[in-house]
Amino acid sequence: MSPVHFIAIPLFAAFLIPLVGKVSKNLVKLIPGIVFLYLSYVAITLFPIGIHKPIVEIIAGFKAPFGISLYYGPLAAFLTTMITLIGFVIWLYSYKFIIREPIEKYYMLFMMLITGSTGIVLTGDVFNLFVFLEITAIAAYSLTAFLRDKDGAEAAFKYLLIGSFSSTFVLLAIVLLYANVHTLNMADIATKISSVPLTTRIFILILFLMGLGIESEMFPLNGWAPDAYSQAPSPVGAVFGGIVVKASIYALMRLIYLMFEFQSVMHFLVIMGVITMLIAEMSAMRQQQIKRMLAFSSIGQMGLVIIAFGVGTEPSVRAALFQMFNHALIKSLLFFAAGYLVFHSGSKKISALDGLGHDKPITSFFFAFGALAIIGLPPFSGFWSKLYVLLSVANSGLFAAVALILFSSVVEAIYYLRVVSRLYFNTEVATDVRRTPVSGLVAMGILTLVILFVGFYPNLVLHWMTPAANELLNKAAYIKAGLFH
């Protein structure tokens, strides 16, 4: 068993799907499910190994630092498992949600996106990182425009515009990096980076920050996010929030922790995180469309994650990972629920949701559940991660950041609860004879159960988070494993 399956299988499936699509549409729908089942099998097999000792997979026989390698350490194990889980749930949800042709293209792009994301997480090579990033990005642009409507195209074009900038910056950075250290293997770069002049390093860092910052929704580089999230089909919103952004922030943090571990960078990250969070939460407060609101909320949560990464202590990194995990779960749940709420009410506006809680109680319940969880209320999982973030931030003495996080939490509470109270407590307006399909409900149910379970028993996830955090922080171990496996 090899981690390469994580990349290869979805990629293979992506190419298989159009072919199968010629034969049977129903079969197409099943393929991603099979892929995810297989991937979870892979994840279950590899996870116990990877969490203790990193598996380094050499592609095509070239030894590091020359060949392309995959690095399946604790962090990657954790992230791939998370991506598999979320991907599976998204497939389950899409199964009935995506009724619009061409279905096979949707699943193809979805599989490409999974390929790209797992690739970002697994790769040990900077240029490969770029390639996977581009695979993800192109799939994401196309998925954004999947509905082929006016708004989708507009959103996709904006995304593409900014995304091209992002890829340009990343590519530039890689080029400059290569020009200076003449290697592309991340572990190798990390050993050699200290010989590079500081100005160059900072310049490269800035380019990376710009490039990956765009994908990880850092302010002010996140103009694409609300549009793309809101115009893409709902499961795609969940993909963005749960997979793409997580993968790219992983990439950013991996690079920063490996190559640019300056105190000033960390401070900069905290400041950017705070600004991102505040502006996003405040903008979310005044949104009229539910999915835009969720998008802004997503940005805000990423700000929180960036803050926690920026603090850079072991507990804070762990808290950041935990927050990432919870956010992926909860935001997917919210996008799922919002998807059907929008579907039933026939409008993207929040005001159209009045009284839908009576008509569609289960979907609304899931939304309310997700809202409570993402605000960070006990006994849901969001509570613990937020608490851990706060405690770790405070332990570094950044009390202003703590206060601002809590302030934005209040704002967050306001806009989420506004929607929840609209759902349940306005006079009945919306009725829709269409029923929410079972597959969607099962997908949401799975997420709900996981959220509740983690809320009551956070040790389950936290237990695996500690080695992951240590891996990210322990540069020497990474280099050792990456080069001299």
Pick out residues in 434-473 that bind other proteins (CB under 8 A): 457-459, 462
Binding to other proteins by residue 424, rule CB under 8 A?
A: yes
Question: Shortest Cβ distance from residue 457 to other proteins (Å)?
Answer: 8
CA gap 273, 218 in Å, rounded:
7
Binding to other proteins by residue 347, rule CB under 8 A?
A: no
* Helix ranges (DSSP H) in 216-262: 224-231, 234-239, 245-259
Out of 45, 53, 194, 397, the only residue in the binding site for other proteins (CB under 8 A) is: 397
Give, for 120, the enclosing helix (H) or strand (E). Answer: helix 103-122
Q: Residue 272 half-sphere exposure, CB side, CA atoms within 13 Å?
A: 22
Among positions 152-171, residues that touch other proteins (CB under 8 A) are 153-158, 160-165, 167-169, 171
Question: Shortest Cβ distance from residue 154 to other proteins (Å)?
Answer: 5
Among positions 106-135, residues that touch other proteins (CB under 8 A) are 127, 131, 134
CB nearer to other proteins: pick between 224 and 478: 224
Question: Shortest Cβ distance from residue 412 to other proteins (Å)?
Answer: 9
CA gap 429, 14 in Å, rounded:
42
Binding to other proteins by residue 59, rule CB under 8 A?
A: no
Q: Which of these segments, 4-12, 99-107, 196-204, 234-242, binds other proteins (CB under 8 A)? A: 196-204
Binding to other proteins by residue 383, rule CB under 8 A?
A: yes
Question: Shortest Cβ distance from residue 426 to other proteins (Å)?
Answer: 6
CB nearer to other proteins: pick between 141 and 325: 141
Among positions 20-39, residues that touch other proteins (CB under 8 A) are none
CB nearer to other proteins: pick between 21 and 315: 315
DSSP state of 52: T
CB nearer to other proteins: pick between 137 and 320: 137
* Strand-strand pairing, 68-72 and 55-59: antiparallel
Question: Shortest Cβ distance from residue 317 to other proteins (Å)?
Answer: 14
Sequence-ordered strand ranges (E) for 73-174? none
Question: Shortest Cβ distance from residue 9 to other proteins (Å)?
Answer: 22
CA gap 83, 443 in Å, rounded:
15
Binding to other proteins by residue 387, rule CB under 8 A?
A: yes
Q: Which of these segments, 71-79, 235-243, 338-346, 393-401, binds other proteins (CB under 8 A)? A: 393-401
DSSP state of 416: H
Look up residue 328 and give its amino acid. A
Question: Shortest Cβ distance from residue 461 to other proteins (Å)?
Answer: 9
Question: Shortest Cβ distance from residue 4 to other proteins (Å)?
Answer: 19
CB nearer to other proteins: pick between 205 and 444: 205
Q: Which of these segments, 24-32, 78-86, 148-156, 469-477, binds other proteins (CB under 8 A)? A: 148-156
User: How many residues belong to the chain?
Assistant: 485
What is the sign of the dihedral through the CA atoms of 345, 350, 356 and 361? Answer: positive
Question: Shortest Cβ distance from residue 139 to other proteins (Å)?
Answer: 10
Please say whether the beta carbons of 417 and 371 come within 8 A. yes
Binding to other proteins by residue 145, rule CB under 8 A?
A: yes
CB nearer to other proteins: pick between 34 and 400: 400
| Nearest Cα residue to 294 out of 357, 339, 263, 325 | 339
Binding to other proteins by residue 403, rule CB under 8 A?
A: yes
Out of 57, 215, 227, 471, the only residue in the binding site for other proteins (CB under 8 A) is: 227
Among positions 257-296, residues that touch other proteins (CB under 8 A) are 262, 264-265, 268, 279, 282-283, 285-287
Number of residues forming the site for other proteins (CB under 8 A): 98
Among positions 289-318, residues that touch other proteins (CB under 8 A) are 315
CA dihedral 90, 95, 99, 101 (to 10 degrees): 80
Please give the angle made by the CA atoms of 283, 284 and 288, to the nearest 5 degrees. Answer: 105
What does R_g of the chain's alpha carbons equal in angstroms?
Answer: 21
CA gap 267, 271 in Å, rounded:
6
| Nearest Cα residue to 299 out of 212, 219, 408, 409 | 219
CA gap 222, 297 in Å, rounded:
12
The token pair at 123 is 């790769």
The token pair at 229 is 């999230």
Out of 203, 261, 470, 485, the only residue in the binding site for other proteins (CB under 8 A) is: 203
Out of 34, 414, 438, 477, the only residue in the binding site for other proteins (CB under 8 A) is: 414
Please say whether the beta carbons of 350 and 410 come within 8 A. no
Question: Shortest Cβ distance from residue 353 to other proteins (Å)?
Answer: 13
Sequence-ordered strand ranges (E) for 20-140? 55-59, 68-72
Look up residue 366 and give its amino acid. F
DSSP 354-400: TTHHHHSHHHHHHHHHHHHHHHT-TTSHHHHHHHHHHHHHHHTT-HH
Binding to other proteins by residue 343, rule CB under 8 A?
A: no
Binding to other proteins by residue 379, rule CB under 8 A?
A: yes
Q: Which of these segments, 97-105, 143-151, 300-308, 471-479, binds other proteins (CB under 8 A)? A: 143-151
Question: Shortest Cβ distance from residue 23 to other proteins (Å)?
Answer: 26
